[in-house]
Amino acid sequence: MSDRLRPRWHILVFLAPAVLVYTAVMIFPLFNTLRLSLFTEVEQERVFVGLQNFRTLFGDAIWSEQFWNALGNNFWFFFIHMVVQNPIGVILAAILSHPRLRFAHLYRSAIFIPTILSFVIVGFAWKLILSPIWGIAPSLLDAVGLKSLFAPWLGKEEYALTTLALISVWQFVGIPMMLIYAALLSIPEEILEAGECDGITGMSAFWKIKLPLILPSIGIISILTFVGNFNAFDLIYAAQGALAGPDFSTDILGTFLYRTFFGFQLQLGDPHMGSAIATAMFVIILIGVCIYLFGIQTRLRRYQF
Amino acid sequence: MNKARRNPLNTAAAHLILLTYTVIALFPVFVILINSFKTRKAIFREPLALPSAETFSTIGYETVFKQGDFFLYFQNSMIVTVCSLFFILLFGAMAAFALAEYRFRGNTLMGLYLALGIMIPIRIGTVAILEMMVATGLVNTLLALILVYTAQGLPLAVFILSEFMKQVSDDLKNAGRIDGLSEYTIFFRLVLPLVRPAMATVAVFNMIPIWNDLWFPLILAPAEATKTLTLGSQVFIGQFVTDWNAVLSALSMAILPVLILYVIFSRQLIRGITSGAVK
Amino acid sequence: MTALKLSNVCKSFGKTEVLRNIDLEVDEGEFVVFVGPSGCGKSTLLRVIAGLEDATEGSVEIGGEMVNQVPPAKRGIAMVFQSYALYPHLTVEGNMALGLKQEGQPRAVIEERVAKASHMLSLEDYLKRRPSELSGGQRQRVAIGRAIVREPKLFLFDEPLSNLDAALRMKTRIEIASLHKALDASMIYVTHDQTEAMTLADKIVVLRDGAVEQIGAPMELYNNPANRFVAGFLGAPSMNFLPAETLGGAAGHTIGIRPENLRIAEDGQISGTVAHVERLGGDTHLLVRTPAGDEVTVRIFGQSQIQRDAEVTLAYDPAEAYVFDADGARV
Amino acid sequence: MTALKLSNVCKSFGKTEVLRNIDLEVDEGEFVVFVGPSGCGKSTLLRVIAGLEDATEGSVEIGGEMVNQVPPAKRGIAMVFQSYALYPHLTVEGNMALGLKQEGQPRAVIEERVAKASHMLSLEDYLKRRPSELSGGQRQRVAIGRAIVREPKLFLFDEPLSNLDAALRMKTRIEIASLHKALDASMIYVTHDQTEAMTLADKIVVLRDGAVEQIGAPMELYNNPANRFVAGFLGAPSMNFLPAETLGGAAGHTIGIRPENLRIAEDGQISGTVAHVERLGGDTHLLVRTPAGDEVTVRIFGQSQIQRDAEVTLAYDPAEAYVFDADGARV
Amino acid sequence: QDVTLTIESWRNDDLTLWQDQIIPAFEAANPGIKVNFTPSAPAEYNAVLNSKLDAGSAGDLITCRPFDASLALFEDGKLADLSDLEAMASFSDVAKSAWQTDDGSATFCVPMASVIHGFIYNKEAFEEVGVEPPATVDEFYAVLDKLKEDGSYIPMAMGTNDQWEAATMGYQNIGPTYWKGEEGRLALIAGEQKLTDEPWVAPYREIAKWKDYLGDGFEAQTYPDSQNLFTLGRAAIYPAGSWEISGFNAQADFEMGAFPPPVVSAGDTCYISDHTDIAIGLNAASPNAEAAKTFLNWVGSEEFAQIYANALPGFFSLSSHDVAMEDPLAQEFVSWRGKCEPTIRSTYQILSRGTPNLENETWNASAQVIKGAESPEDAGQRLQDGLASWYEPQQ
Ligand SMILES: Nc1ncnc2c1ncn2[C@@H]1O[C@H](COP(=O)(O)OP(=O)(O)OP(=O)(O)O)[C@@H](O)[C@H]1O
Ligand SMILES: Nc1ncnc2c1ncn2[C@@H]1O[C@H](COP(=O)(O)OP(=O)(O)OP(=O)(O)O)[C@@H](O)[C@H]1O
Ligand SMILES: [Mg+2]
Ligand SMILES: [Mg+2]
């Protein structure tokens, strides 16, 4: 569409409701909170300290160690999602979107069910299944002769994070699946038919026709995964508690933030340090999103159907 | 339908993959469901066993129905979820349309601004939100929850919908413009119907956290009259002793409504809405 | 050998019957043109042949083999879609090359064939563009190019030249004809253009409402239409139909006279007033209204100076007239 | 009054110049046809007029008012898109009615106009279908219907009949002509069909590579082409061009003779062998190859019995021949 | 006109108790005051409460966590000073200490209950295997060895997945015996002892030995898992807090007994953790302060103590009223008050005010030590370093 110079009130009208609600109920409170990162509390008084909190966060060994540990864990968490969740989601969507597949909606709903479960249930169910005591996983593995592979995964530092990431993958695969599915649906049938006549079917139809056409959606799920993972919190909290055991091996930025901001057990909430962590997280995510928005999204070609 | 294009081998493989994954997806859910019908002892003695005559128990469900007005909670959850989704979809789609369709100064910045919300957990803004709700007298009303969820859902909605709206053929919108349709009509009559799959997707994505949210109901509307289902079920999670029967029952029941909503929305995932539009 | 054999092919979309009992044989190397009114089922028939739609009934054989269960990719066909169906994410070049790449053709062959096709279709300047940056006619040519580079044994063309200008259309038509000869492939071609149908076809199939009306060589159909529909459908402007009575024929019958077979003459059988004159440059069409209220089109070679409202008498050679009965069948 | 005035309109897509300095005036109630080779910029020009593309330079005036800044919805136009651009989620009826609903027309009016248009386009049976359930030609008719129900002052048609069969095309052409008269609207019409161009136009605009080559009444252009391009573009089959020398003219010049102006005659100026015969039924085209290797098309009225490889001599009336200089300009 | 008081609490567990017993009893005695008990999930309680207090939407009565969490609220002016409340007279200074300013000048919550640590055991299992409840550490391990040898029971039900079990039921349970209860605790606060000192490292050394007696995969065993292991009769000993009593009574179908943390050598003074755990205070911003005080006074009454302690065996009244309890297990626990020195958990007062948080660190260290991932000495060193980093007396 062309640029026109005359005033375009409709743009304002389209944007206004969202911007108003969002600014008032979301941005304002959030930034009001982030502002706290520049303050600290001394003798029940709020004092402006500039970047002191950040200096503590990155300079103080105790804080920075936790922060980098959480950040590193977070990247691993994200990595697992990227290499496991999204490909599985895309594969499932690709299979499901096959126009003549029977029971597709049944499969689709079934696969989506984990996504609608609450974290309490997910945490409970998986702890029960993986529990070395109640024996679902051990006996299942036993049944296929792999009992020796069993370990109390959630309790071992080396496995816990990966296990949780995989549980999270299990839970959220529905999201990339549905998004990609929606994107695949919008590819005009005729283009695929033309491909079929050209001998491009099955896998090659996916790689050569569908994939390029859904790339923007893949971009979206990547960035959503990124944002979602760096904000993740509930699952770990439900499964491992706010201390993200064992020995902080499952601590990610979300749990670190929560613990600091709201406090935990005897640890009192510290909104100031908490905000500093939130700000740091925000900056990390913002950088990621900007890389996506300006570096990738603008380069992705979109096709109109 | 079309026999010629169905490859039995591929079809079998597809079904195999899907079945496998369905089993993986449903197994834990199955575990929860069967256990919600067992006595506590049976849950932990043999978590995998089906409820048998002696282990069968609906004690969990009974507890749930005894404790609190679950139908009211259910209704509250429903109202909050549906209203929030409505506003998220409406406002989100409008903003997404503005971003996807018009080139104006600050377009990308506006997009970024609207995405900021997904980068910080909204929980940390709780106090300010709560203060605002207290000031406006909205505490313990469902409206407070609806407002928060709407704001919370908007960034994602705008993000996803604008991407999908960019795919709607310009010629189609232009045909509308030439037909004299106003930009509003183009949005409501042409673009919205054509991004139905995306709208459904966004609805489903937002529905889940709203439905399952515990935090804001706890803080903004913990009153008995405004309790949501998730909050209501939380009663059974104690400090030291968790009534797993009741938790499993309550949460199993809470799956149903979302599942129904999901099915309703996913009916909008229709193929070929745009086919036949342009040559 | 038969390249394609359709036996009793029927197709319905839900309750809408679109194809009815189509029987057709196409010999190897034959060029068959489908013509018929808009919506009569031509495209659907092509899609059934391609395997994109299942026939509700009947069988499709390609190269002597029953292919009802064979997927399109394995039928050895190439198709130009009426709506083009270009790959939006690929350049013109990519659109043409994709099928070849899939076949695993060596790069040199691909490049050569793409170059040849794009030369033939005057697309050389656009090879790096994507479909959205092309004009309607250019897109259509890409669709043709995509089909012809594959050099299969059976081509299906669905109105491939409809958006091209006359000169290009002629050029492309000739190219297709020579391609047909060079590859010795069978071609099935849907068109609304009389010239294309008459000049390209070995055999024309006239369809109407999903059923075959007549099959035959072009001039055979032109000169010996089986019924009034075929007679009226071929030829532009189309045949004039007059009640036989007004010309001394049997009641209920209709007499058909082609516009070019009518001459302005002193002693003509038909008289009337010129209601409208269409000057096409090379031809002039007169619309003559008889006193009985019938309208007759007369085609005059070259530029006639005759004016509207002139009183004229039209003559025709009864040998060149066709007689149809009340049901439209040729008598 | 002028319905439309384009002054010095230019349009580029990035570096590609698509329209160059187009000047054009369309009077109220005038029927203007754009013709030109595929990709010459016809659609782009329509889109600039409609306001869907901004002219890179120049101004567009509609009804005496400069509209460069006016959105398409306010320009009082209706357009048939070359790609149809139907609303895929609406039925045929909905597609046609949407614009009227938006105007706030009463239901009765909407229903009446939709009924009229769908009758005119033979779409009555399809009113409840969605575009995806229609044939190509039916979709095209819906696109036409959507434009005409609105009855605006200025119509823009982009190859509106390209996918219709000859009979329907003629019928629709006549309907459009009478609509034009009834509404007294201005129409701008893009077509590749010579018959449409010649019969519908008050004025034909010949475009080439984004620039106007010639503007004039149909027969004026046919008989007085300004240059070789226009001469060759109008008329099917197109004009023969022979080096003037071979016919005794000036060196470097070209002589153009229309195929219908060549006769087979004993004492013709050109002799050659029949290389190819195209029998169209109403006409016969001969491709004659001269000893010098030039190819000449001859159009013969009716069905000629002449065969391939016959030796023929062709005569023409020098008064009917055109002479062009080396640059293609008419001499 | 009726006043409605709302109570904020983390005790979901007690919901029915409040609804069916406590509130009716209060309302009957105090017409015109309605009480509404609105617990939230324990894990969210602090965060939710703080948010509500900050925004001014919290209930009138606030259930108080011990020590710093409540102290901070008081210092922020969120909790009213209740020093002058009549009911305070019914509580000893020790009972009140968890809800007082550091200098003891102001009390802001009415104490409700404390919990006692010890070990609960399966009497039937003990009989089966032929062991007696141990009194000394050596006996304790002998019992464990015997159980392990026998093999039909997991000797001890404890997991490290949730971490706090290891710290609370392990370290804080047996620890007082080594650091001599209050003596050691106060010395630590005063900076006279260090966490690297033997009394503080020794308990780690002990729990490190427990590893061998825990069930398979205890690393992933959660707190509910442990409870279930024990109540389903699969484990013989359960390092416990008295709060488990009511749940265990309901769930276990075997007889249970309890023994206090074993002493090092026979005849040594025994120490128990009798931890002040729960109290109730007044929201300073409550518009119904008068009614709320009426309620708080009632909380200090004998009637309340009676109802509460019997409805929730294992939560022992802190008031000086003489409360008769019917539950034998609860009686067993409370009987240790008579023969052992009570103390509270070492990390609760003052020491968990800074970062790193000593309590959280202790959770982590206990779990690590049990798993064998960290040596007791290293753990002590780490905690000491952490504490010293912000706590002046330790620097
Ligand atoms: N978005 C674009 N980017 C670059 N070039 C373009 C774009 N759109 C059109 N063009 C080019 O502009 C020229 C004119 O296009 P236009 O569609 O106006 O042609 P046309 O005269 O309508 O042709 P046709 O008869 O084939 O429809 C074409 O050569 C086309 O390739
Ligand atoms: N999906 C469908 N559902 C119902 N009817 C359909 C569907 N697709 C096509 N039709 C109908 O089938 C008939 C034949 O369509 P087809 O596309 O084969 O016509 P066609 O001969 O190619 O016409 P055209 O020359 O206009 O392209 C048309 O009347 C059309 O309306
Ligand atoms: Mg068709
Ligand atoms: Mg065009």
Domains of chain B with bracketed CATH: 69-274 (1.10.3720.10)
Look at residues C200, C231, C262 and tell me which one is the last residue of a structural domain. Answer: C231
Contacts of A85 in chain B (CB under 8 A): none
Q: Are residues C261 and C210 in the same domain?
A: no
Ligand 2 centroid to Cα of residue C44, in Å, is 6
Phi-psi category of residue A4: left, alpha or beta, with phi > 0 → left and psi -120 to 50 → alpha: beta
Phi, then psi, of D35 in degrees rounded to 5: -125, 160
Please give, rounded to a whole number of angstroms, the shortest distance from the CA of D66 to a CA of chain B.
17
Strand ranges (E), B172-256: none
Q: Is residue E242's pLDDT more than 50?
A: yes
Q: How far is the C-alpha of D32 from the C-alpha of D308, rounded, in Å?
A: 41
Angle of the A104-116 helix axis to the A174-185 helix axis, nearest 10: 140
Q: What is the pLDDT of residue C128?
A: 94
Ligand 2 centroid to Cα of residue C210, in Å, is 9
pLDDT digits (tens, 9 = 90+) for D119-133: 999 999 999 999 999
| Bridge partners for C22 per DSSP | C9
Is C15's C-beta closer than 6 angstroms to any atom of ligand 2?
Answer: no
Question: Span C281-305, mean pLDDT?
Answer: 90
Residue to test with chain A: of D54, D89, D135, most A Cβ within 10 A: D54
Residue D135 contacts B, CB cutoff 8 Å: no
Of C123, C129, C134, the residue with max ligand 1 atoms within 8 A of its CB, to mutate for a pocket test, comes to C134
Q: Classify residue C129: in a domain, yes or no.
A: yes
- Among A155-159, B152-156, C33-37, D260-264, the minimum mean pLDDT is found in A155-159
CATH at C44? 3.40.50.300
Percent of chain C whose pLDDT exceeds 70: 100
CATH at D318? 2.40.50.140
Q: What is the pLDDT of residue B2?
A: 59
Question: Span A214-231, mean pLDDT?
Answer: 91
Q: What is the pLDDT of residue A4?
A: 47
pLDDT digits (tens, 9 = 90+) for D53-79: 999 999 999 988 899 888 888 898 999
Domain boundaries, chain A: 60-303
Q: Classify residue D330: in a domain, yes or no.
A: no
The pair of three-digit structure tokens given for residue A87, joined into one six-digit string? 């490909």
Q: Are residues C16 and C99 in the same domain?
A: yes
Which ligand number lies closest to the CA of residue C41? Answer: 2
Ligand 2 centroid to Cα of residue B276, in Å, is 12
Ligand 3 centroid to Cα of residue C36, in Å, is 10
pLDDT digits (tens, 9 = 90+) for A13-59: 999 999 999 999 999 998 888 888 888 887 777 888 888 889 888 88
Say yes or no for a CB contact (<8 Å) between B237 and E243.
no
Question: Span D29-49, mean pLDDT?
Answer: 94
Q: Are residues D21 and D47 in the same domain?
A: yes
- Looking at ligand 2, which residue's alpha carbon is closest to its atom 12? C18
Burial bucket for residue C116 (CB in 10 Å: 0-12, 13-18, 19+): middle
Say yes or no for a CB contact (<8 Å) between A241 and E163.
yes
Q: Classify residue D331: in a domain, yes or no.
A: no
The pair of three-digit structure tokens given for residue D235, joined into one six-digit string? 């008329």
Nearest to D84 among B176, B193, B279 (CB): B279
Q: Are residues D140 and D52 in the same domain?
A: yes
The residues in D 21-60 lying below 8 A from A, measured between CB atoms, are: 51-54
Question: Span E217-230, mean pLDDT?
Answer: 87
Q: Are residues C155 and C199 in the same domain?
A: yes
Which ligand number lies closest to the CA of residue C131? Answer: 1
Say yes or no for a CB contact (<8 Å) between B235 and E39.
yes
More confident residue, C268 or D44: D44
Answer whether D117's CB lies under 8 Å from D145's CB: yes
pLDDT digits (tens, 9 = 90+) for A60-81: 888 888 899 999 999 999 999 9
Quick one: closest CA in B to C84, which residue?
Answer: B279
Q: Are residues C39 and C160 in the same domain?
A: yes
Question: Span E104-128, mean pLDDT?
Answer: 91
The CATH homologous superfamily for domain A60-303 is MetI-like (1.10.3720.10)
Is D128's C-beta closer than 6 angstroms to any atom of ligand 2?
Answer: no
Q: What is the mean pLDDT of chain D?
A: 91
Residue A1 — very low, low, confident or very high, per pLDDT cuts 50/70/90? very low
Give residue C319's domain range.
Answer: 238-324
Question: Span E190-204, mean pLDDT?
Answer: 91
Nearest to A136 among B1, B48, B244 (CB): B48
pLDDT digits (tens, 9 = 90+) for A81-99: 999 999 999 999 999 988 7
pLDDT digits (tens, 9 = 90+) for C138-179: 999 999 999 999 989 899 999 999 999 988 999 999 999 999
Q: Which residues of chain B have pLDDT under 70?
A: 1-7, 241
Phi, then psi, of D71 in degrees rounded to 5: -70, 155
Q: Are residues D72 and D140 in the same domain?
A: yes
Is D122's C-beta closer than 6 angstroms to any atom of ligand 2?
Answer: no
Q: How far is the C-alpha of E384 from the C-alpha of E395, rounded, in Å?
A: 10
Q: Are residues D135 and D282 in the same domain?
A: no
Q: What is the pLDDT of residue B104?
A: 85
Is D138's C-beta closer than 6 angstroms to any atom of ligand 2?
Answer: yes
Which amino acid would we find at residue A289?
Answer: V
Look at residues C231, C263, C287 and tell me which one is the last residue of a structural domain. Answer: C231
Answer whether B176's CB lies under 8 Å from B188's CB: no
Give this complex's ipTM: 0.90
Look at residues D184, D204, D231 and tell me which one is the last residue of a structural domain. Answer: D231
Percent of chain E whose pLDDT exceeds 90: 37
Q: How far is the C-alpha of D121 from the C-alpha of E348, rounded, in Å?
A: 87
Question: Span C275-297, mean pLDDT?
Answer: 91
Of residues E68, E67, E114, the one with CA closest to residue E92: E114
Q: What is the pLDDT of residue A3?
A: 45
Q: How far, in Å, are A20, C310, E204 from residue C315 at the CA level?
A: 81, 16, 123
- Looking at ligand 1, which residue's alpha carbon is closest to its atom 1? C133
Q: What is the pLDDT of residue B29?
A: 86
Of C38, C42, C157, C207, the residue with max ligand 2 atoms within 8 A of its CB, to mutate for a pocket test, comes to C42
Q: What is the pLDDT of residue B1?
A: 42
Question: Span D315-327, mean pLDDT?
Answer: 90
Q: Are residues C220 and C297 in the same domain?
A: no
Say yes or no for a CB contact (<8 Å) between C69 and B4.
yes
Q: Is residue D241's pLDDT more than 80?
A: yes
Residue E393 contacts B, CB cutoff 8 Å: no
Q: Classify residue D191: in a domain, yes or no.
A: yes
Contacts of E23 in chain B (CB under 8 A): none
Is D82's C-beta closer than 6 angstroms to any atom of ligand 2?
Answer: no
Residues of chain A whose beta carbon is less than 8 angstroms from a beta carbon of chain E are 44, 62-63, 127, 130-134, 151-157, 237, 240-243, 245-248, 258-259, 262-270, 273
- Among A260-264, D74-78, E276-280, the minimum mean pLDDT is found in A260-264
What is the pairing mode between strands D57-62 and D65-66?
antiparallel
- Among B39-53, B155-169, E3-17, E264-278, the minimum mean pLDDT is found in B39-53
Is C41's C-beta closer than 6 angstroms to any atom of ligand 2?
Answer: yes
Burial bucket for residue D182 (CB in 10 Å: 0-12, 13-18, 19+): exposed
Q: Classify residue D329: in a domain, yes or no.
A: no
Q: Which atom of ligand 2 is nearest to the CA of C34?
A: 21
Question: Span C102-108, mean pLDDT?
Answer: 92
Contacts of A198 in chain C (CB under 8 A): 73, 78, 98-99, 102, 146, 150
Residue C118 contacts D, CB cutoff 8 Å: no
Say yes or no for a CB contact (<8 Å) between A14 and B187.
yes
Residue C91 contacts A, CB cutoff 8 Å: no
Determine the 3-state secondary structure of C132 from DSSP.
helix
Q: Classify residue C143: in a domain, yes or no.
A: yes
Residue C181 contacts A, CB cutoff 8 Å: no
Q: Are residues D109 and D247 in the same domain?
A: no
pLDDT digits (tens, 9 = 90+) for C16-31: 999 999 999 999 999 9
Q: What is the pLDDT of residue A123?
A: 84
Is C35's C-beta closer than 6 angstroms to any atom of ligand 2?
Answer: no
Question: Span D188-205, mean pLDDT?
Answer: 93
All residues at 6 or more sequence positions from A24 whose CB lies less than 8 Å from its CB, including other chains: B132, B151
Answer whether E129's CB lies under 8 Å from E151's CB: no
Is D297's C-beta closer than 6 angstroms to any atom of ligand 1?
Answer: no
Q: Are residues C262 and C201 in the same domain?
A: no
Residue to test with chain B: of E37, E51, E165, most B Cβ within 10 A: E51
pLDDT digits (tens, 9 = 90+) for E38-68: 888 887 888 888 888 888 888 899 999 888 8
Ligand 3 centroid to Cα of residue C45, in Å, is 9
Domain total of chain D: 2
Nearest to C72 among A196, A212, A304 (CB): A196
DSSP state for residue E331 in the 8-state scheme:
H
Q: Are residues C18 and C147 in the same domain?
A: yes
Say yes or no for a CB contact (<8 Å) between B239 and E54.
no
E strand or H helix at E271: strand E271-282
All residues at 6 or more sequence positions from B66 whose CB lies less than 8 Å from its CB, including other chains: none
Ligand 4 centroid to Cα of residue D40, in Å, is 8
Mind giving me the DSSP string for E115-133?
Answer: EEEEEEEEHHHHHHHT---
Is D191's C-beta closer than 6 angstroms to any atom of ligand 1?
Answer: no
Contacts of D51 in chain A (CB under 8 A): 2
Q: What is the pLDDT of residue A2?
A: 43
Mind giving me the DSSP string for E211-245?
Answer: GGGBPTTGGG--HHHHHHHHHTT-EEEEEEETTHH
